[in-house]
Structure 1
């Protein structure tokens, strides 16, 4: 029986093959990209084996075959990492972990190192701790101020896990971000990069199924764009600060390898009448 990862591996290969520019040919083509025979020839594998890979029916490729496919498809570093993760999981080399309670709000313990780092930050540096599939584990008061509607108020009960992608496709985020389409593209590509190999994880499956009900997410998801975002900037139309630019950096957390600390810096000082504490909140 094909696993979800085998099916996703095949879909990823098929989608990337369709992006390649075919050689000049006399006959018209019914579909874009290279034919399977052309891609197999570039990678130095048999057409039958490559066809079975795309159909999710072949044993997982060896490292040498993966290297050849990466070169033939012209994958970026992030895309190559994603392909290897899809190939590795069913061989025991994956990093995903299964969740036995997909419908419940289950919050993993937040990194103690990340919490200590957040307490060192100078106001108004905003900080958010994200988990393995982008779930929000902790945030400080500056983040709550900077991103209206992203976090619950003190004492407020939440029915589902806070998540980076859930917020990005919310009405609040659409009002806040200038150039929201680019933000949506980046969030979807990052979700694929961070967790796209966890296709058999129930918690991940519930999240994706929910987001697919949003047309703008459903339009982007089948593209299978893969890109990790470690730094950058966003333009905001903040209800208090007006239009501003926020830079962000994504840092790995050593005592919790599946968690990330995201820091946001403002380009200008806060107005004198805006007061922000250094308080830190957690989802748990």
Structure 2
């Protein structure tokens, strides 16, 4: 009993040491014969040896660890986009060195290295702001970085039901304004008849999804600016849910989409942006070539839902009839 108590104390001391910017502790771990181990700090009790843990890591710890890894990957990718000093000779890898970025942000090289490796505890607000300035992040990218660095527990994720407020708003719309309600990871929760007419095949699946449709043959045929649409959909997915590492639906969705070469090419870029307005060029099977403008509105009564409205520049032909009916998935 006393030995087990000492082992647990050694584990706690190791965790505390790692939280002090990695000094005196080690975050590496291993598994052997179904048992979990933690390399404690090198002190009189543990001698730096592997200390046995009882039971798997807590869910909150796994989530925080996954966020840290993703935060490190995001920092590394953005550092690679920065232009090194003109006087430097050509480099084997693009971007700034870690030491150069750390100097710009005013943090130690060791601490910044641990951030990129996913081994450092969540950075303070002042460190985050310094990294944002050093990396030249946009507002969307800055918000994404803060979400990844958050040390709060993720609230329980529930199956989403479409907002009643969004449904009432859709009923107020004048035909042929198209409307779609999207959930937290781009799942389509509701759409009206005008949207079904404007985007053939978008809502035919049992569980329609914005990203799945964007990379479908129907979307490639419909959008004249498909490459731009694909870029935006991937960047929006990362912005909306890239920090939700514990959402099983998000994980399954990304794994599924990674089987599509065009998605797999874009995903590692870690582009992050939200478009609240814009326009799309379509080659519609009935209307021919046309431009559609869209606006994205937050649904205030239900978090993480968005109402997307699409407006046509020209009136519909007289032989096209569209009702104001609304459907839900």
Q: Which secondary structure state, in structure 1, belongs to the residue aligned with residue 166 of structure 2?
A: helix
CA-to-aligned-CA distance 1:38-87 (integer Å, 9 cap, x gap): 00000000000000000000001000000000000000000000000100
1:252 and 2:292 are equivalent in the alignment: no
CA contact (8 A) 2:170 2:179 kept: yes
Q: Alpha carbons of 1:73 and 1:100: their partners in 2 closer, same or farther (altered >3 Å)?
A: closer
Give the whole-Å Cα distance in 2 for the aligned partners of 1:51 and 1:176: 45
CA-to-aligned-CA distance 1:195-227 (integer Å, 9 cap, x gap): 111122211000000000000000000001111
Larger-gyration structure (1/2): 2
CA contact (8 A) 1:9 1:83 kept: yes
1:235 and 2:281 are equivalent in the alignment: yes
CA-to-aligned-CA distance 1:154-175 (integer Å, 9 cap, x gap): xxxxxxxxx1000000000000
Q: Alpha carbons of 1:26 and 1:133: their partners in 2 closer, same or farther (altered >3 Å)?
A: closer
CA-to-aligned-CA distance 1:9-58 (integer Å, 9 cap, x gap): 00000000000000134443111100000000000000000000000000
Q: Which secondary structure state, in structure 2, belongs to the residue aligned with residue 59 of structure 1?
A: coil
Partner in structure 1 of residue 251 of structure 2: 205
CA contact (8 A) 1:253 1:259 kept: yes
- What is the Cα deviation at residue 268 of structure 1? 0.4
Q: Work out which of the residue numbers 19, 44, 50 in structure 1 matches 2:81.
A: 19
* Greater length-normalized contact order (CA 8 Å, ≥ 6 residues apart): 1
Partner in structure 1 of residue 201 of structure 2: 149
Give the whole-Å Cα distance in 2 for the aligned partners of 1:217 and 1:165: 9
- What is the Cα deviation at residue 103 of structure 1? 20
Q: Alpha carbons of 1:2 and 1:181: their partners in 2 closer, same or farther (altered >3 Å)?
A: same
- What is the Cα deviation at residue 100 of structure 1? 19
CA contact (8 A) 2:157 2:247 kept: no
**CA RMSD in angstroms, aligned pairs only:** 3.0
TM-score by length of 2: 0.76
Q: Alpha carbons of 1:42 and 1:102: their partners in 2 closer, same or farther (altered >3 Å)?
A: closer
Give the whole-Å Cα distance in 2 for the aligned partners of 1:49 and 1:28: 27
* Count of residues in correspondence between the two structures: 262
Q: Alpha carbons of 1:216 and 1:104: their partners in 2 closer, same or farther (altered >3 Å)?
A: farther
CA contact (8 A) 1:127 1:139 kept: yes
Give the whole-Å Cα distance in 2 for the aligned partners of 1:242 and 1:182: 20
Segments ≥4 residues shifted beyond 6 Å: 99-106
Q: Alpha carbons of 1:273 and 1:103: their partners in 2 closer, same or farther (altered >3 Å)?
A: farther
Residue ranges of structure 2 left out of the alignment (5+ in a row): 1-62, 204-208
- Please show how residues 161-172 of structure 1 align to structure 2 within 5 Å: 163-172=209-218
Give the whole-Å Cα distance in 2 for the aligned partners of 1:101 and 1:26: 44
- What is the Cα deviation at residue 101 of structure 1? 19
1:215 and 2:215 are equivalent in the alignment: no
CA-to-aligned-CA distance 1:93-143 (integer Å, 9 cap, x gap): xxxxxx999999995210000000000000000000000111100000000
Q: Alpha carbons of 1:272 and 1:26: their partners in 2 closer, same or farther (altered >3 Å)?
A: closer
CA contact (8 A) 1:101 1:203 kept: no
Give the whole-Å Cα distance in 1 for the aligned partners of 2:120 and 2:309: 42
Q: Alpha carbons of 1:100 and 1:4: their partners in 2 closer, same or farther (altered >3 Å)?
A: closer
Give the whole-Å Cα distance in 1 for the aligned partners of 2:152 and 2:139: 32
TM-score by length of 1: 0.88
Q: Alpha carbons of 1:101 and 1:199: their partners in 2 closer, same or farther (altered >3 Å)?
A: closer
Q: Alpha carbons of 1:147 and 1:229: their partners in 2 closer, same or farther (altered >3 Å)?
A: same
